[in-house]
Chain A
Amino acid sequence: MSYSITEPSSRQKWIAGGLVIAYAILTLLPLAWIIATGFKTPADAIAYPPKVLFTPSLEGYVNLFTSRSRVTPEDLAALGPPSTWYDSIVRQYGMVITGASRYGERFLNSIIIGFGSTFLSVFLGTIAAYAFSRFKVPLKDDLLFFILSTRMMPPIAVAIPIFLMYRQLGLSDTHLGMILLYTAVNLSLSVWLLKGFIDEIPIEYEEAALIDGYTRFQAFYKVVLPQAATGIASTAIFCLIFAWNEYAFAVLLTSGTAQTAPPFIPTIIGAGGKDWPAVAAGATLFLLPIMVFTILLRKHLLRGITFGAVRK
């Protein structure tokens, strides 16, 4: 194939730049709105017309992390002056803080389950993909098709059997259960993605390592793994995004110990009025880990998406 390699004119560059900026605004606007709502007071959050400029408040975050109860003005006065800044925010509404909310625990659950299942999917995916790529596996094509076929229906279609199985096995509302479930769903994606990446690594590198006196396994982790880093990173991002954002199974299978943040955040709405700033604050914090992870690995992700497009 041949490509035109002439430098684009400055007008073309302006148009291209404008399009990119317009698209960025379009996709980032909801995100900006969520982040802004997190810093509004409940009144500002539902004001009509919507307020673009507002006095920032940490109310949403305070409400997100605390549980509160309403007290009579006499009791409030009897408590004396508020001891902390978040106490004073709460007291404006005639309430006192009674303890920490469960958001912290749920967030931690999300981290354990999200990263745990991502690690497991990528680890199992890498060794399976390596075997499929390099060894003569009996019925290789059928096995690969079978692995792919687990993606051919929406996972939620098997929600009821899984719900019953998990109840029977005692895996309902456990970290292990959720990690296994997300790993099972992600594994087909990770095997297929990683097989593509490993196929592209010339087998000569491993043979060279064998000649240089390394064992097969040493050749795998000293030569193949560094080469596959791009693929592993982009696969990890895809797996993490799925496990992190998954809502349906989390609602169905978790309620307490292992509940992740996505099913928890909506429960804030029910507790004491529609507290949109607290919901927005929960969503904002929930976005952060994925954002950080993606930014850290973005170089790999970009290379991962275009991988195989350029033949050397």
Chain B
Amino acid sequence: MAQIVIKSLRKEFGAFTAVQSSSFTIEDGEFFMLLGPSGCGKTTTLRMIAGLELPTAGEIFIDGAEVSQKPVSQRDIAFVFQMFALYPHMNVRKNISYPLVSQGMKRDQVRAKVNEVAEILGITSILEKPVGGLSGGDRQRVALGRAIVRDPACFLMDEPLGALDAEFREHMALELRALHDRMRATTVYVTHDQLEAMQMGDKIVVMNHGVVEQFGRPQEIYDWPATTFVARFIGSPAMNLLNFDGMVGNGSTQVTLSDAAIKIPPMISGASGPLTLGVRPEHIRLDDAAPLKARIRAAEYLGTTQIITLDTPYGPVKARIASTQAATIGDTTGLAFDARSITLFDPTGHALISEANQKVLSHG
């Protein structure tokens, strides 16, 4: 269908810069997530791909053609809005037919095509109903129907599940992903929900303040965050970040926190000063023999695992351990980190390259 290449894309609204020089590539057939907190520029980026906003600078290629200044109608894209934006004065069938009618398709062809799409989405029974009385899920299906009926080069979705209640979101997320797997159409999906992004996406771009923080597969981003922002934003609970003063250089294999030596993956780049050590809760073990001491403050039971909050000289740290392991609040214990999974961040918050994360972070 289509590959989308974003090159140094920039958008300013007066004095405010919504997107600053973003670059990334969306491969043909990918389910691609634009992830970030509200106001990070993800929706603006999506709207620029659609043509609803024109970029201040930069280029957008859809299937090799530069489209950044072209009108929406010439881009062959479909857009699913957060509030669905179904035309309220038309019934379901007319809503889905609308993009075909604008192309001047013949009536019986439109009918057949709409029936086919309704079949795929399981909305055949509501085709003749007005959109006003539909449930959130059905409205979402109709909005999807309007998008897929045209066989566009790509789908752009702006938080399409945002208006649904929690229970139904998960169901629709699975449905959406299944639909994508069947159609294999390039999809760009905006969300602020990191779980949704991890669950559905082939690739994720994490944005913050208009800047692309990291771009990669969910697993890569989760395991090897490129910045402290990504480390904090992805994962629930988030990655533990311990600030300390120290120095690492090429070949370093340990750092010192409170006189305790912590093993780290062999470093390739180096830095000194106020550094940050990042470790995921599931990579921490409670081990009375470990030299870094901490006091257990709280425990949250989550079924097979529990989240333990511990007080350390570096602030609270969360550890995910098996529920079967006893943890008494108020006790002092030691923290042992899985040396292979630690990320160090330099004073500006960017990850230092080690032998463990170089494969993920070296591509940019």
Contacts and interface: CB of A to CB of B under 8 A. Distances in A.
Nearest to B76: A213
Contact of A211 (B72, B83, B87): B72
A208 interface: yes
Interface string B210-246: 0000000000000000000000000000000000000
Contact of B102 (A202, A207, A214, A226): A214
A207 B88 contact: no
A207 B87 CA distance: 11
Contacts, number: 48
Nearest to A204: B85
Interface in B69-113: 71-73, 77-79, 81, 83, 85, 87-89, 98-99, 102-103
Interface string B21-55: 00000000000000000000000000000111000
Contact of A208 (B51, B73, B87, B103): B87
B73 A210 contact: yes
B11 interface: no
A174 interface: no
A209 B88 CA distance: 13
A205 B103 contact: no
A205 B87 contact: yes
B103 A207 contact: no
B264 to A, nearest CB: 49
B140 to A, nearest CB: 14
B79 A207 contact: yes
Contact of A213 (B50, B52, B85, B102): B102
B51 to A, nearest CB: 8
Contacts of B146: 208, 212
B73 A213 contact: yes
Interface residues of A, number: 16
Contacts of B99: 211-213
Nearest to B90: A226
Interface string A177-204: 0000000000000000000000000101
A213 B146 CA distance: 12
Nearest to B51: A210
A227 interface: yes
Given A212-B102, A213-B99, A204 B81 contact: yes
Interface in A255-274: none
Given A210-B52, A211-B77, A213-B73, A205 B85 contact: yes
Contact of B85 (A207, A215, A218, A226): A207
Nearest to B104: A213
A228 to B, nearest CB: 11
Interface in B169-188: none
A227 B88 contact: yes
A296 B25 CA distance: 57
B98 A207 contact: no
A208 B102 contact: no
A82 B119 CA distance: 78
Given A210-B72, A211-B72, A212-B99, A202 B89 contact: no
Chain A contact surface mostly: helix
Contacts of B72: 210-211
Given A211-B72, A215-B73, A226 B81 contact: no
A138 B78 CA distance: 32
A46 interface: no
Contacts of B52: 207, 210-211
A207 B73 contact: no
A250 B150 CA distance: 57
A210 B51 CA distance: 9
Given A202-B83, A204-B83, A211 B89 contact: no
Contact of B89 (A213, A218, A226): A226
A211 B50 contact: yes
A250 B320 CA distance: 84
A218 B101 CA distance: 13
A35 interface: no
A140 to B, nearest CB: 14
Nearest to B78: A211
A208 B146 CA distance: 10
Contacts of A213: 73, 99, 102-103
A111 interface: no
A23 B73 CA distance: 56
A212 B71 CA distance: 12
B89 A208 contact: no
A201 B116 CA distance: 31
Contact of B81 (A208, A215, A227): A208
A223 B87 contact: yes
A207 B89 contact: no
Interface string A152-170: 0000000000000000000
A205 B150 CA distance: 18
Interface in A84-120: none
Contacts of A208: 79, 81, 85, 87, 146
Nearest to A229: B89
Nearest to B81: A204
B139 to A, nearest CB: 12
A54 B212 CA distance: 87
Most chain B CB inside 10 Å of its own CB: which residue of A204, A208, A215: A208
B312 to A, nearest CB: 47
25 contacts: A202-B83, A202-B85, A205-B85, A205-B88, A207-B52, A208-B87, A208-B146, A209-B98, A210-B71, A211-B50, A211-B77, A211-B79, A211-B99, A212-B98, A212-B102, A212-B150, A213-B73, A213-B99, A213-B103, A215-B73, A218-B102, A223-B87, A226-B89, A227-B88, A227-B89
Interface of B: 50-52, 71-73, 77-79, 81, 83, 85, 87-89, 98-99, 102-103, 146, 150
Considering the complex of A and B, which 6 residue pairs feature the smallest CB-CB distances, nearest first?
A204-B85, A213-B102, A212-B99, A208-B85, A210-B72, A211-B79
Given A210-B73, A211-B79, 9 more contacts: A202-B85, A204-B81, A208-B85, A210-B51, A210-B71, A211-B78, A212-B146, A213-B73, A213-B102
Interface of A: 202, 204-205, 207-215, 218, 223, 226-227
